[in-house]
Homo-oligomer: A and B are copies of this chain.
Amino acid sequence: MPSAVVTFGEIMLRLQPPGALRFVQTDRFEAVYGGGEANVAASLAQFGQEARFVTRLPHNPLGEACLGALRRVGVDTRFVARGGDRLGIYFCEKGHSQRPSVVVYDRAGSAIATAGPGDFDWEAAFERADWFHFTGITPALSEALPDIVAEACRTARRKGLAVSCDLNYRKKLWSRETASRVMTGLMEFVDLLVANEEDAADVFGIQAPGSRIEAGHLDLDGYAVVARTLSERFGIPRVAMTLRESLSASDNGWSALLLSGGTIHASRRYAIRIVDRVGSGDSFGAGLIHALRQGQPDPEALEFAVAASCLKHTIEGDMNLVTEAEVDALVRGGGSGRVQR
């Protein structure tokens, strides 16, 4: 019987003007549900895995709608706690060309931010599971959540689950000091850390020497230094970094590296026309978790994760609704986009 992956975090309602409209122009919003850890669970479910998502949702129709959205994509929602007053919301205006996307968060007071330790039963949630994933967003959401995440990590370790973390710093949620203190405490449990350069700098003050993301140039050596520093400082076996070249809001370069066993693996690079980049980091994490759980060697796992997250950029919404076969096809082929009949 296959074992499961468990992720824990917030899922929000995302409201977005249609097409290229700005907030001030629209009288309609497109609605999807998403959040870092929910996106990872959803992506794993598309890959055919049993994926459980743990969160807390209010007892109202929006909470129900959110649950339905998770079930629709195959996520196991049996361990979702219910209660609290509201679902977090974020408003997202898609950028185009030189105009950046704009995100307005409206997540204060959400059900998970008002959760207490008694809301979650980690023993049950981790039953028959082999992997636990969280991000740096979750402990930032309330004063209670660092302890809740730590408890989850301890339980996971005790029950033999691997633990992965996406560093994901959100400056509107907490200060760098608090982030550094809390995340440092959690790093001891982490077997796989995913980060980008900004996260490492923001949370742990680890700078890549000489890189200039803005300009769309990548200094791979610099990123390798960051990965090694993270790995060594916290004793984390695997550290992955996504490398985004922000050419414009419409076009990005996308690749990644993986430090594993002291070796840096660098992936292929994709030149992407963006449909929706929200959740691409999450889809990378999901791809990596999936490939590693399938026993793929590190370089292949990295290519799978980069290809998966490349495809995420072409999918609307937060969740990477692509199958393992589709990712494999991109890994093997060239992304030529020929029609699949």
Residues of A within 8 A of B (CB): 15, 19-32, 60-62, 64-65, 68-69, 71-74, 85-87, 89, 91, 93, 95-106, 108-109, 170-172, 213-216, 246-251, 270, 272-278, 307, 310-311, 313-317, 321-322, 326, 329-330, 333-341
- Name the contact of A214 in the complex, choosing from B108, B315, B334 (C-beta under 8 A): B334
Q: For the complex, would chain A's binding face be called helix, strand, loop or mixed by DSSP majority?
A: loop
Nearest CB of B to A90, in Å: 9
- On whether the beta carbons of A98 and B330 are closer than 8 Å, the reply is yes
- On whether the beta carbons of A246 and B95 are closer than 8 Å, the reply is no
Tell me the nearest residue of chain B to A64, going by C-beta. B24
- On whether the beta carbons of A25 and B172 are closer than 8 Å, the reply is no
Tell me the nearest residue of chain B to A333, going by C-beta. B214
Report the Cα distance A251→B273, complex, angstroms: 9
Report the Cα distance A110→B19, complex, angstroms: 28
Tell me the nearest residue of chain B to A248, going by C-beta. B337
- Name the contact of A62 in the complex, choosing from B104, B171, B277, B311 (C-beta under 8 A): B104
In the complex, chain B residues whose CB is within 8 Å of the CB of A23: 61-62, 64-65
- On whether the beta carbons of A314 and B61 are closer than 8 Å, the reply is no
- Most chain B CB within a 10 A radius of its CB, from A68, A246, A247: A68
